[in-house]
Amino acid sequence: MTTTDVAKADAAAGERGLTRKTARRLAWAERTVYAAAGTWAAVGPVTNVPWWAHGAALTTGALTSVGLWKRSDTDDWTRRLTSSLRALPVLGWTAAYTGGLLVPVCDYPNGWPMLGAAAWTAVMVPMTPWTRSKSLKRAVDNLPVLAGEPEVVDAEPVTFADHMRALWNQSQATGDTTLEGIRQYDPDGPDFEAIVLAPAGHTVPRTLDERAIAGVFDVPVDAVDTAPVPGYGPGRLAIQVAPDLARTRRAREALEVEAEDPGASLERIWAEHVNCTGGAAPGVDLVAHAIGEDQIRLLIAAPRGKTLRVNHEALCSALGIDDISRLVMEGAGPREAVVYIYRANPLLHVRSPTVEDLTMDDRGRISIGVAHDGSAARIQLFNFDTGRAQHGITAGTTGAGKSGLMRILGAAQRISGIISWMADVQGGMSMPEMEGRIDWMAKGPVETMQQLRALHAVKEYREAHSRGRGDFDFHGRWRLIQWTGDEINRLLSSLDQEIRKEAAWMIGDLQKTGQKVGIGVDLAVQSLHLKELGDNHEIREKGKEGHVFLLRTASSSTQGMGLDGIAPVGAHVSPIPERIYEGAGAKELFEGTAATEGVPTPGMGWLITEGKAILFRTFVLKKVNGLYPQLEELMDGRPMPTLTPEEARAAGAAYARRDTAAAGDTGKTADGPPRPPQGTGGTSTSSTEPGPATGPQRAASKATEQGAEELSEAPSPMEAAKAKAPTIRERILAALQGHPEGLGLREIRTAVGCGTEGGPATRSVNNEVSTLASEGGLVALGKGVYRLP
């Protein structure tokens, strides 16, 4: 059965097919020409015109006939047809014109020439042969044609030996030699041996070595081996081409090397699955490695000029790690990082804290847990170099371990002689065991606001009696105070706008000015997003200056953790799982032996401090029968750091009532925390005070001896600040004092503090100046210059 090959030739240059629009235009023009030429063929011969005009018409027909005859001398019948179509109108018109000229010579009626011209016109106008000839060649070339006789070629190789011999004969490197005695090792494999035979009287060329033979068969060089043929001279050469054997040999040698040097296996895996096209981290080099019994450390680096970006899960997949919590990556700058690979998660089991862990060292640091590499996870409560307290933020969802972390912080603060104030906006449900073990445990939003006002009053008292000192003397007359607000997002997002504003204002002011008088602020929230902090950017920025605890969050991505602007450069923070399952890989799941009870991860998270992000877990305090015996052992019986009597009087009645049944009831309203009195009572004006309280003695008891009724509530500092702040009008008039020549409007705005923190708005100042000028309080000197009357 024969087949028909359909070939479509490309149109030759100048013979492209016409579009419909172009063909219509060309046909219209051609028909117009035919109508005019037909008219002239009818009247021209009988018109009195010079003889050369008739001669030109006859000459045109003669030349067209000669051209047609020349073009017909070809075997290309397509060309013949095209030339005939183009010559037909000219030859027909010449015949009609000649018939008109022969009227005087031949005796036939005068109407016949006109009838011939009309007939020519009637045929040419609808036929438009010139337009049709333009696309004739392309149409013919696109017709199906029968394929010619198949080209006679050499027979294709049939057997494996034929294939190998054909490759050998086609190569220029083999010269006149032939390949004989081909023996294939395995019918399904490429390995074989053969004899290279040179022509009689010649030797096998020396250039025909292993490299040249590998090129002939396109195999690795180490897959080729050559040897002389026993009993024969240099005209024969035995060769072995065995790529499969070479591959097996390389794998065996690699295993032997890796058995002696496990680092070679790491380098191979890194090259094949990580630093390769389509790998987990293309372009990232394995610089160094260290292999221990339970830990492998890898130093990796991106090329210079690039930043290191490695997907945690993709790297685990490339290295064959099912439990992603076993791989930890710590950044060491923008292009380098250290990768830790553990045999098992190193933070599954963490010890309990000791007194030594929670005692502040000479650098103001305490240990709050264990880092993944076994070192102590430390934070700084006080910076002895700057003489300032430290702030911090703790973020974690419900059950992430925030309360456990705060218990440890409270124990460390008491052991280290730091006054510990804590507030649980939820009502004390998170840490009921801390009540009575720290100086003040506020419960609920009402007492939290009272505590914040009292703390701010103590700050103002210390500022007024610090004699202008810009740092805090840790060993001086006042104790370091650390305030911790748990679930503070509930207060910063309160429906009561006034309470929300006052809380944000007090926390922000304590963060900005409390450090230099020995007051640190720790905030505990659900996440690090601004909305958790009442959309207050300043609170978030100040809180991250000290330390940030990022425990398990509700988001499974680093982007959802709210780390923008918090994570150090080059940090690789991975999400914390809710549970860790040992022995729950794909193999165990397939075999049905996977562990079903995972280990919870409360207290596990990332500690971001001093420009580094460290995976850690807090010390564990075991709960027995609803109690924490280890917490009792650490805290009970130790001196309770408290305020001095003068500070206690500044803190007001709420401090005197702390830890009593009436503490949370006083002033409670249905809409939220109570409004404080607008007075300024409760602050002592005495310039002398005794040293810090020691032992179990508490300042609250002293206040009780004097009578709690004698103390007033600490006032709202925001209301007091508003009351003390001068109005815009007062600022403008004060700025113009001493300037009889007047000041320009821009100078007035600068003098009253426009553009500064807490300063008035530019538009408000402009409006007030205009009002004063209209009321006669200012005299306008022209061009925006004003002076006092």
Task: Give 598-629 pLDDT, tens digit per residue.
Answer: 788 899 999 988 888 899 999 998 888 878 88
For the ranges 172-181, 388-397, 525-534, 741-750, the lowest mean pLDDT is seen at 525-534
The alpha carbon torsion through 467, 473, 474, 477 (nearest 10 deg) reads -40
Q: What is the pLDDT of residue 225?
A: 94
The full DSSP string for 670-725 is TTBSPPPPSS-TT----S-------TT--HHHHHHHH-GGGPPBPPPHHHHHHHHS
pLDDT of residue 673: 40
Nearest-angstrom CA–CA distance, 214 and 210: 6
Task: Give the gyration radius of the chain's Cα atoms.
Answer: 50
**pLDDT by residue (tens digit) across 565-593?**
566 776 788 888 888 877 666 676 777 77
Give the pLDDT mean for 126-134.
77
For the chain, give the percent of residues with pLDDT over 70.
79
Fold assignment, 379-576+634-654: Rossmann fold (3.40.50)
pLDDT of residue 689: 39
C-alpha of 382 from chain center:
36
Residues 6 or more apart from 310 whose CB is under 8 A from it? 280, 281, 284, 300, 329, 337, 572
What band does 69 get if pLDDT is binned at 50, 70 and 90?
confident
pTM, entire model: 0.59
Q: Judge whether residue 704 has pLDDT over 80.
A: no
For residue 429, the model assigns a pLDDT of: 72
- At 534, the pLDDT band (50, 70, 90 cuts) reads low
Mean pLDDT of 98-119: 69
What's residue 30's pLDDT?
81
Q: What pLDDT, on the 0 to 100 scale, is given for residue 661?
A: 52
> What are phi and psi for residue 781, nearest 5 degrees?
-95, 0
Note the pLDDT of residue 57. Answer: 77
Mention the CATH class of domain 726-787. Answer: mainly alpha
Least confident of 194-198, 328-332, 374-378: 328-332
Q: pLDDT tens-digit profile of 450-464?
A: 999 999 999 999 998
Quick count: other Cβ atoms within 10 Å of Cβ 655?
Answer: 32
Q: Which of 311, 286, 301 is nearest to 333 (CA)?
A: 301
Backbone φ and ψ of 735, nearest 5°? -65, -30
Across the chain, what does the average pLDDT equal?
80
pLDDT band, very low/low/confident/very high, at 140 (cuts 50, 70, 90): low
Whether the CA torsion 285, 290, 295, 299 is positive or negative: it is negative
Comparing 22-31, 309-318, 511-520, the range with the smallest average pLDDT is 22-31
Tell me the domain boundaries of the chain. 20-141, 160-246, 261-342, 379-576+634-654, 726-787
**Among 21-25, 243-247, 334-338, 666-670, where is mean pLDDT lowest?**
666-670
Q: Is the pLDDT of residue 355 over 90?
A: yes
pLDDT band at 249 (very low <50, low <70, confident <90, very high): confident
- The pLDDT score that the predictor gives to residue 35 is 83
Q: Is the pLDDT of residue 674 over 60?
A: no
| Mean pLDDT along residues 247-255 | 80
